[in-house]
Amino acid sequence: MGKKFKSSGFTQAGTNHGSDERNNQDATASGSNARFEVIVLADGVSSCKKGGEGARITAETIKNWFLDMGERLMDISDEERKDVISSVMTSALEKQARQDGLDIKEYSSTLATILIDKKLKRTMYASVGDSLLLGIVGDKVSIVAMPADSRNGIPTTTDQSKFIKTGVLEAKNGELVASSFIACSDGAWKELYRRNKLRSEVKEMILGRDYSDLSEYLKSRNTFDDCTFITLDTEREIEKGEQTPLEAKRSEKAQLEDEARKISKTEKAIDRIETKKDLLE
């Protein structure tokens, strides 16, 4: 049976950038072809002159290159993969730095990415810096790649390849090891956790794939840093007439709950408009 894949995400500029989204230093990218699915998140270093641009270059470069070279990347060793990923990122950033007449360090960012091999059900991850990669396994939210320890400084895409965390998660019982993956910038995951533990309300949203609610939650936190996440969800495609009565009921319930959330949000929006109208009269 096949799989269907869906990517979604959220981003907002931190209060240190004001309310102008153009100052957001985070960048995301997603893509697919017949064999692979990929999501990428790059968080530009705010102290660099071109951190946001470096993040965008990194995200697009990694997305396109992973889709083209996915099979080779998954078949080489972790150490070889570190070297080639570092080389590809450095080449793209050096090209831009030469055009602008700047040092490559001005384009520094972090990186978090997931690549799924739809044919062999393998998952490759790569991470540089303080972003976080999560995977949903059954009713658990597991960490795929931890953020770097800030006490030793945060490595970036312009540092040496030794700082890249990477690996391949092989299929389990012929299936992907996780049903969903989430990449979070440090501005996002620091709001999702409390004392190194995922907040219970956040865990419920992630397990339920309520990403619109998760986005609203992050909006309400009014984060100082740029705040971004991107997801890649996988679901078994149900052919017509294949659903069991229980699956059909669950599907109907999910649709009704989704409609209820949309109605609730609409009602809240109307209430806000009415409130503003009353104040003006």
**CATH number of the domain where residue 112 is located:** 3.60.40.10
Among 59-63, 161-165, 235-239, the range scoring the smallest mean pLDDT is 235-239
pLDDT of residue 264: 76
Between 236 and 265, the more confident residue is 265
Q: Which strands sit side by side in the sheet containing 36-44, from one edge to the other?
A: 26-32, 36-44, 109-117, 122-128, 165-169
pLDDT, residue 248, reads: 57
Looking at per-residue confidence, does 236 or 53 come out higher? 53
Q: Are residues 262 and 150 in the same domain?
A: no
pLDDT of 238 higher than 50? no
User: Is the same domain home to 60 and 150?
Assistant: yes
Do 213 and 76 reside in the same domain of the chain? yes
Give the mean model confidence (pLDDT) for residues 191-211.
94
**Residue 214 shares a structural domain with residue 248:** no
Are 74 and 139 in the same domain? yes
191 plus 86 within the same structural domain = yes
Indicate the pLDDT class of residue 254, thresholds 50, 70 and 90: low
Question: Is residue 63 within 8 Å of 85, Cβ to Cβ?
Answer: no
The verdict on 70 and 153 lying in the same domain is: yes
Q: What is the pLDDT of residue 1?
A: 46
User: Does residue 81 sit in the same domain as residue 201?
Assistant: yes
Do 59 and 85 fall into the same domain? yes
Judged against a pLDDT cut of 80, whether residue 262 lies above it is answered with: no
Burial 30-66 (b: 16+ CB within 10 A, else e): bebeeebbbbbbbbbbeebebbbbbbbbbbbbbbbbb
Whether 243 has a pLDDT exceeding 60, the answer reads no
Residues 199-227: what's their mean pLDDT? 92
Lowest-confidence range among 13-22, 76-85, 164-173, 206-215? Answer: 13-22
Per-residue pLDDT at 14? 85
Q: Are residues 77 and 168 in the same domain?
A: yes
pTM above 0.75, yes or no: yes
DSSP for 127-166, written as a single string: EESS-EEEEEETTEEEEEEPPP-GGG----TTS-GGG-EE
Provide the residue range defining the domain that includes 89.
3-237
Percent of the chain at pLDDT > 90 equals 69
Q: Is 168 left (phi over 0), alpha (psi -120 to 50) or beta?
A: beta
Looking at residues 211-227, what average pLDDT do you find? 91
Lowest mean pLDDT among 73-77, 150-154, 161-165: 150-154
Comparison of pLDDT for 260 and 7, the residue scoring more: 7
pLDDT value at residue 260: 76
71-113 pLDDT, tens digit per residue, is 999 999 999 999 999 999 999 999 999 999 999 999 999 999 9
Domain count, the chain: 2
Together in a domain, 146 and 87: yes
Angle between helices 211-221 and 200-207 (to 10 degrees): 150
Residue-averaged pLDDT of the chain? 88
What does the block give as tokens for 3? 């799989």
Same structural domain, 252 and 149 = no
Other beta carbons within 10 angstroms of residue 104's beta carbon come to 17
HSE at residue 103, side-chain half, CA atoms within 13 A, is 7
